[in-house]
Structure 1
Amino acid sequence: MDDGVAAALAASNLSRLRRPALQRLLTGARLVRVPAGSVTHREGDTAVHLELVVDGLVGLFVTAPDGRSMTVRYARRGALIGVVSMYADGFRMPGGTQAIVDTTVLRLSPEVVRRAAAEDAHVADAFLHELADRALGFVHEITDSAFTSVRHRVARHLLDLASQESRAGRGARPVLTVPVSQRELAEAVGSVREVVVRALRDLRESGAISTHRDHIEILDPVRLSRELGGTQVPDGARR
């Protein structure tokens, strides 16, 4: 098993499974490199899919009728994407998925996985835990949008802007550049410039960003996504 895949499995709910069950799930799986900015699944798609993020960062976003978009989940190493598509009747993608940076995913065979879950209670239990995590994650997303710290809201808004920049075809650059001033950022997150400046300073000192007069560079999107807390279990947290 590839070291990167092994690390991703260890950070996922599939870490609950013993090696024979894991090997069965990996039958027919393939590694795919997804360039930054690529939208891999679009709103309205009906295809059943299951992917494990091996490295990089994937955003799951929804789009309003006026064209505005909001990312509702950031998926890092160990995140599973598409489990709901395997079990929801009449499934249609409620949003899109996009690689924020160059990303590697392991695409598993939904047929293999569903058969394994039907025949092995341990596999079914692992995916029940995954679905529970996703349900709780989206519930937390509601409160996170309204009641979190300014630093959290700044990190989320910067990642949302970076996602939009990347979708516009500018994601191939080694550093994501967000054209936003501190004043505009303060207005967007519902705070004042002085508080936002302190939040940006903290993020800058963490190595996630660098700040400039009329733009912000996101040096480490994965590190920045960790500011969002519960959207993804930290790497290595699974046992």
Structure 2
Amino acid sequence: MTSAKRLQKNYPVIDELSPAARSRLLDAARWMEVPADTLLFDDHQSCEGFPFVIEGSVRVAKCAPNGRELPLYRVTPGETCIISSSCLLGNEDYNARGITEADTLLMLLPKQVFDELLAEPAFRGFVFNLFAERIADLMQLIEEVAFHRLDQRLATLLLGKGRILHTTHQHLADELGSVREFVSRLLKGFSAQGLVKLSREQIEILNPAGLRRIASGADNRSP
């Protein structure tokens, strides 16, 4: 299957465009094969276009001067990047960082063509519907950070990924927007309670029911 066919399969909105608009989009498409762990964009960089993810994924995060990072969302095939949308619509620079998590195939739609296609009802609806979905996700993230204790968020993160998790304390801290020392302390506490078993770059879930109690806030002990 060609890259263009994969693009249309992942983004059905393209087939909803008028023939002229669809041709304009495909003719202007800039294809990019990006290795894993590549910085796609960073704070204060200008936004060159609207990305469509064909394969792989991109992690978008807000970074602090001290190096701490708060993951905001991921962009996978069929999804869009709200930061890119916002920058293009407002003619602003990026205010977050985007990094590929795996080898990623992208199609970048130049800003001029993005602006032109907003006149198409199908494309405009696609952009703003996904924009609304991302805003809802970010509101949920704000709620979790503001109102849930770190132990609740960590317990939630550990659940639903199978019995064995192959990860590091640093990776979990990055996912939670915290620091490794805090996460390691909580994991050691979980281990002492018999909830998990810790090994090098591996966590075995021993008591998922106990983790669910913590995640729900039923265990009111402070972290």
TM-score normalized with structure 1 length: 0.62
User: Could you list the runs of 5+ residues in structure 1 that have no partner in the other structure?
Assistant: 166-179, 199-211, 218-239
Secondary structure at the residue paired with 2:123?
helix
1:4 equivalent to 2:9? Answer: no
The count of aligned residue pairs is 182
After superposition, the Cα gap between the structure-2 partners of 1:77 and 1:140, relative to the gap in structure 1 and judged at 3 Å, is same
**8 Å contact kept, 1:36–1:103:** yes
After superposition, the Cα gap between the structure-2 partners of 1:162 and 1:6, relative to the gap in structure 1 and judged at 3 Å, is farther
Alignment-derived partner of residue 206 in structure 1: none
The farther-off stretch of 50-59 and 76-85 is: 76-85
After superposition, the Cα gap between the structure-2 partners of 1:163 and 1:153, relative to the gap in structure 1 and judged at 3 Å, is closer
**8 Å contact kept, 1:186–1:196:** no
**Counterpart-to-counterpart distance in 1, 2:89 and 2:172:** 28
Match of 2:157 among 133, 153, 160: 153
Alignment-derived partner of residue 192 in structure 1: 190
**Counterpart-to-counterpart distance in 2, 1:87 and 1:15:** 20
**8 Å contact kept, 1:32–1:104:** yes
Alignment-derived partner of residue 62 in structure 1: 62
**Residue type of the alignment partner of 1:99:** T
Alignment-derived partner of residue 105 in structure 1: 106
1:216 equivalent to 2:202? Answer: yes
Q: Of the two structures, which has the highest relative contact order with CA contacts closer than 8 Å and spacing of 6 or more?
A: 1
**Counterpart-to-counterpart distance in 2, 1:160 and 1:44:** 30
4+ runs of 1 displaced by more than 3 Å? 21-24, 144-152, 158-165, 183-186
**Residue type of the alignment partner of 2:114:** V
**Counterpart-to-counterpart distance in 1, 2:184 and 2:190:** 9
**8 Å contact kept, 2:49–2:114:** no
Identity %: 15
Alignment-derived partner of residue 86 in structure 1: 88
**Counterpart-to-counterpart distance in 1, 2:37 and 2:90:** 28
**Counterpart-to-counterpart distance in 2, 1:125 and 1:99:** 27
**Counterpart-to-counterpart distance in 1, 2:201 and 2:62:** 25
Question: For the aligned residues, what is the CA RMSD?
Answer: 3.6
Alignment-derived partner of residue 227 in structure 1: none
User: Could you list the runs of 5+ residues in structure 2 that have no partner in the other structure?
Assistant: 162-166, 175-179, 204-223
Decide which structure has the larger Cα Rg and report it.
2
**8 Å contact kept, 1:43–1:93:** yes
Secondary structure at the residue paired with 2:60?
strand
After superposition, the Cα gap between the structure-2 partners of 1:92 and 1:113, relative to the gap in structure 1 and judged at 3 Å, is closer
**Residue type of the alignment partner of 1:76:** T
Cα deviation, residue 150, structure 1 = 4.7
Cα deviation, residue 134, structure 1 = 2.2
After superposition, the Cα gap between the structure-2 partners of 1:139 and 1:30, relative to the gap in structure 1 and judged at 3 Å, is same
